[in-house]
């Protein structure tokens, strides 16, 4: 009540003072809201980011479905796992040859003009495979049809190229985007096989392949429709030479080859170990723990501000991966499954940070205008390493047994670490 007795001038002066306090507090509150939002929420606030991310995730999920779907479809209809494995291996080899050329065309003519037609060809290959299996066509038609899927674009690389264009002036945001993309990769390879097995096992053998083809085409249509965020095509005069000729690129690709051997051998040896313990049916969930660990670590890594040169960070990440990849070898010596499951979860935690740092270094080394090609070469090296690691791991299981065979991924990780050591001699810039 005393306030009511004061003059009107006092009230008039008090109002601006309160307003000034609210105005001064507004930036601080906004800063707190921005910090609370986190790096990933800020990424998705980038104009157009949510639309192209949604489309790319739809198109990327089948990457974890096609291999499992093909094996279940062919083995279920033809009764031969050997034939199923040979067909999928042929598709992998064809992808290693075709993918870099597809990426080169994307860099030269643009994502929408190349990625969408390439996707249509790949989807037709998947449909042809399902038709050949269903109708009892000769075995050679399965190889030809699955090889046609090699035109599938590197969906993760397409998305990373968009982030690199949109965030070219914000290194911290780009680091978060690379971590987000790696976590998305792990999530797709975590959910894809489960979805494929569920569809093919409960509906009909071709269900996984057909669903994957529909998701791939639908997601790529949505992704390519977002023209506002598509990176511009560099003019011919502005495009650099082949990424393979870039200084430091070839040793880095050899390192990716060794990393692929880690993943391929770890999967085969783990399946053999679980099968020896009568848990072949539960191999999927146990192996998924490694992808889960990588996904969580990737999201956490994206919240950190990178320090030091990318080469030195890569050495540190691969050193951590080498140490963690030795845990399954120690856990397998216990003869129990629970310690192995925990070891696989821990081992996966070094995967995403290593991949994020390695792919970031690939982007830095790739000449201007050849970004999709450079990243696809890294993925191709990784796939080749997975194939070689799977073969080596299988041989080790046959000759040594499942538990000692865990030395194979540990040695492959050690090899990858040795291949990164020259990065310590490279200039910090």
Instruction: Report domain extents, the chain.
Output: 47-233, 240-429
- The H-assigned helical ranges of 203-282 are 207-224, 249-276
Token digits for 160?
């990373």
With cut-offs at 50, 70 and 90, classify the pLDDT of residue 280: low
Instruction: Please tell me the predicted confidence (pLDDT) of residue 2.
Output: 40
Instruction: Please tell me the predicted confidence (pLDDT) of residue 282.
Output: 59
With cut-offs at 50, 70 and 90, classify the pLDDT of residue 186: confident
Question: pLDDT digits over 84-95, tens only?
Answer: 778 877 887 888
- Please name the fold of domain 240-429: Growth Hormone; Chain: A; (1.20.1250)
Instruction: Please tell me the predicted confidence (pLDDT) of residue 213.
Output: 93
Using the predicted structure, report yes or no on whether residue 21 has a pLDDT greater than 70: no
With cut-offs at 50, 70 and 90, classify the pLDDT of residue 119: very high
Provide the 10 A C-beta neighbour count for residue 173: 18
DSSP 309: -
What is the rounded average pLDDT of the residues 190-198? Answer: 78
Burial of 71-109, coded b for 16+ CB within 10 Å and e otherwise, reads bbbbbebbeeeebbebbbbbbbebbbebbbebbbbbbbe
Question: pLDDT digits over 26-41, tens only?
Answer: 444 444 444 435 778 8
Question: pLDDT digits over 218-252, tens only?
Answer: 999 999 998 888 888 766 645 566 777 777 788 88
Q: Please state whether the predicted TM-score (pTM) of the whole model is above 0.85.
A: no
Tell me if domain 47-233 and domain 240-429 are identical in fold: yes
Cβ neighbourhood burial of 1 (10 Å; 0-12, 13-18, 19+): exposed
* Relative orientation angle of helices 171-202 and 155-166, to the nearest 10 degrees: 160
CA-based end-to-end distance of the chain: 68
Contact 100, 193 (CB under 8 A): no
Q: Of residues 268 and 153, which shows the higher confidence score?
A: 153
Instruction: Please tell me the predicted confidence (pLDDT) of residue 274.
Output: 81
Q: What's the CATH code, domain 47-233?
A: 1.20.1250.20
Contact 361, 325 (CB under 8 A): no
The helix (run of H) or strand (run of E) holding residue 117 is helix 111-135
Instruction: Please tell me the predicted confidence (pLDDT) of residue 340.
Output: 87
């Amino acid at each position: 009540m005393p306030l009511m007795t004061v003059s009107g001038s006092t009230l008039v002066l008090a109002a601006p003072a309160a307003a000034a306090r609210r105005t001064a507090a507004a930036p601080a509150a906004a800063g707190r809201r921005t910090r609370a939002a986190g790096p990933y929420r800020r990424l998705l606030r980038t104009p157009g980011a949510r639309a192209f991310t949604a489309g790319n995730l739809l198109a990327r999920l089948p990457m974890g479905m096609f291999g499992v779907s093909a094996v279940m479809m062919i083995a279920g209809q033809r009764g031969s796992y050997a034939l199923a494995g040979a067909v999928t291996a042929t598709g992998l080899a064809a992808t290693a040859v075709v993918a870099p050329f597809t990426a080169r065309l994307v860099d030269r003519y643009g994502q929408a003009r190349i990625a969408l037609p390439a996707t249509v060809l790949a989807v037709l290959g998947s449909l042809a495979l399902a038709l050949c299996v269903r109708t009892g066509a000769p075995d050679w038609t399965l190889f030809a049809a699955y090889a046609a899927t090699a035109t599938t674009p590197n969906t993760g690389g397409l998305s990373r190229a968009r982030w690199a264009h949109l965030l070219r002036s914000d290194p911290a945001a780009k680091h978060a985007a690379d971590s987000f993309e790696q976590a998305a990769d792990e999530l797709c390879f975590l959910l894809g096989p489960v979805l494929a097995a569920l569809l093919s096992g409960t509906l009909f053998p071709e269900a996984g392949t057909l669903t994957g083809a529909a998701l791939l085409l639908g997601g790529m249509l949505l992704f390519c429709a977002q023209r506002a965020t598509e990176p511009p095509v560099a003019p011919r005069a502005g495009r650099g030479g082949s990424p393979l000729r870039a200084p430091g690129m070839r040793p880095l690709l050899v390192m990716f080859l060794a990393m692929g051997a880690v993943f391929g051998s770890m999967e085969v040896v783990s399946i053999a170990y679980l099968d020896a313990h009568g848990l072949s049916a539960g191999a999927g969930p146990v192996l998924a723990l490694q992808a889960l660990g990588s996904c969580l670590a990737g999201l956490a890594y994206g919240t950190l501000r990178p320090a030091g040169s990318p080469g030195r960070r890569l050495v540190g990440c691969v050193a951590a991966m080498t140490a963690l990849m030795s845990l399954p070898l120690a856990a397998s010596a216990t003869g129990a499954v629970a310690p192995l499951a925990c070891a696989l979860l821990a081992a996966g935690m070094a995967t995403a940070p290593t991949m994020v740092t390695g792919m970031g270094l690939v982007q830095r080394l790739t000449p201007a205008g050849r970004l999709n090609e450079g990243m696809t070469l890294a993925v191709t090296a990784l796939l080749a390493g997975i194939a070689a690691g799977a073969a080596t791991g299988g041989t080790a299981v046959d000759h040594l047994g499942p538990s000692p065979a865990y030395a194979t991924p540990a040695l492959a990780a050690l090899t990858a670490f040795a291949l990164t050591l020259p990065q310590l001699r490279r200039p910090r810039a």
